Structure 1
């Protein structure tokens, strides 16, 4: 008896596209690219209206002005991606600048004074993080409280006086430029920090955990992410970067005062949200955040050159911020409408 075995055809391997949209659409049609495009448009218009705007001198002073915002925004972006917020960064800039001034006045060198200021910033961020992650208090309420606390300590240490005497070598270094380009030397430090934060946020498991926490904290925890430790580290980094901005602030403006950088936290948050970070957490990219900071700086500098008051600059910044939030909500609504559930298959009738 012979048995016939039917040759079974090899099952065809089913493949799926890695993404639902082409790479060029995923790259170009984003909020970050929209902000970069808007920044280019504003630069072109400002250069046309104010001829001296596009000069290396003006661009150099623009970068000098926004350097504290750039430093703080690097750490504020991941904090907000997790769904938290840090409103104490402006007062920490003031407290760290006072720390540098007092240490310098006591005869300590600027490197030692800067190290002490960084420790103060890390301690302030640690206090925020512990209150939020260990005790479970809301980030908004905690950082509003520490905003007043750190500002009060800074003003209490100096009162209404200001320290304006610093080592001239360091103040000259902070104000120096790279050759004849007009680019501040401090931008080298910023580029190094930008690369470090970009790698951490976009190319490491830690960064993926940051986004996972913003999307769903419970899901992130079940996926193995230590959410509380991650958030604590981010608040410490936020305090460190605010302290670094305070050190720069004191040396560049040669002034250590308790009220330095008043209101800077609102500028940073506006730039971060304008740069594409969702106020609800879970999304954002550093290139968009940097573009948001530069856009606010360009608008402010261009309007100042045509004698527009700072109040109008604040109004324009607020309008842009509101529009960016509305645009993000509209984009999310459109994307949700485009996703259609697959039709349920009906069983075939048997006769």
Structure 2
């Protein structure tokens, strides 16, 4: 999820609906398999397509109707979560086959499957972001969408692609989360968007777009995960954990901006000095 969010934020947008996307993907998977007797591979494929559709819906509203991504995804944040609650209800959906559940307890070589998938995707998207035309366009659109449009960059298409990628990766995470929990619940991944955005911004991605790296996101994500794990081991309540992560997000946003302003103030007098 953080990998897709990195692309979205570098592109000058934000996606607050990723955790709700995960929950709705899991809900669709559970309903299709357990309640309508779809074969699980077909249910997984359909759930992933629905997740992609959720991302495309966000992208269309932002790119085509030119609505603010913060407002759009705040709305779909509630919409997708509400639909998941309607589908699943207050009960969880179980009954998944043995080969599907417990993905976190399976290994691909020396690595757990989720970690291996994450590192593989991180490498792939790092290459895409830094060495391909779509990656360069993402940076350009995030830095200056008007100039990018005048330069011939299809800004709307790039933005649509970013939200589609975010939706697809959130869906994949939703399927893996359902496997790990062995059940589908409407409140799965509740509040996860805070951790994701914190990791992306803490990793050096500019919240206003145009700058960031996949490597920075990976390192920061590990730090946030270690922080969460440490607080859980210390029996710190979830509410206090949210305070800590929220404070970390504010620090990650405020400190770089203050440093940039200080640098600008230092260089401005030198630029105004007349030539000798």
TM-score where L is the length of structure 1: 0.74
Q: Shift in Å at residue 312 of structure 1?
A: 2.5
Q: How does 1:57-136 map to 2 (within 5 A)?
A: 72-105=1-34, 106-136=36-66
Structure with greater helix share of residues: 2
Q: Deviations over 1:110-157 (max 9, x none)?
A: 322211111001111111111111111111111111111111111111
Residue matched to 1:283: 211
Q: Deviations over 1:143-188 (max 9, x none)?
A: 1111111111111112112111101112144531346x5x312222
* Structure 2: unaligned runs, 5 residues or longer: none
Residue matched to 1:311: 239
Q: Shift in Å at residue 342 of structure 1?
A: 8.1
Q: For the residues of structure 2 that align with 1:241 and 1:292, how far apart are their CA atoms? A: 18
Q: Shift in Å at residue 335 of structure 1?
A: 3.5
Q: 1:254 aligns with which of 159, 182, 207?
A: 182
Q: For the residues of structure 1 that align with 2:133 and 2:243, how far apart are their CA atoms? A: 39
Q: Deviations over 1:214-242 (max 9, x none)?
A: 11111111222111100000101111011
SS in 2 for 1:167: coil
Counterpart contact for 2:16–2:73, Cα < 8 Å: yes
Q: For the residues of structure 2 that align with 1:147 and 1:73, how far apart are their CA atoms? A: 16
Q: For the residues of structure 2 that align with 1:154 and 1:120, how far apart are their CA atoms? A: 12
SS in 2 for 1:126: helix
SS in 1 for 2:117: helix
SS in 2 for 1:341: helix
Q: For the residues of structure 2 that align with 1:136 and 1:326, how far apart are their CA atoms? A: 27
Residue matched to 1:19: none
Counterpart contact for 2:103–2:179, Cα < 8 Å: no
Q: For the residues of structure 1 that align with 2:235 and 2:83, how far apart are their CA atoms? A: 36
TM-score where L is the length of structure 2: 0.92
Q: Shift in Å at residue 337 of structure 1?
A: 4.0
Q: For the residues of structure 1 that align with 2:157 and 2:194, how far apart are their CA atoms? A: 26
Q: Shift in Å at residue 345 of structure 1?
A: 5.4
Q: How does 1:134-145 map to 2 (within 5 A)?
A: 134-145=64-75
| Aligned length in residues | 273
Q: 1:156 aligns with which of 86, 102, 125?
A: 86
Q: How does 1:337-348 map to 2 (within 5 A)?
A: 337=265, 339=267, 340-341=270-271
Q: CA RMSD of the aligned region, Å?
A: 1.8
Q: Indicate the structure (1 or 2) with the bigger Cα radius of gyration.
A: 1
Residue matched to 1:325: 253
* Structure 1: unaligned runs, 5 residues or longer: 1-71, 347-351
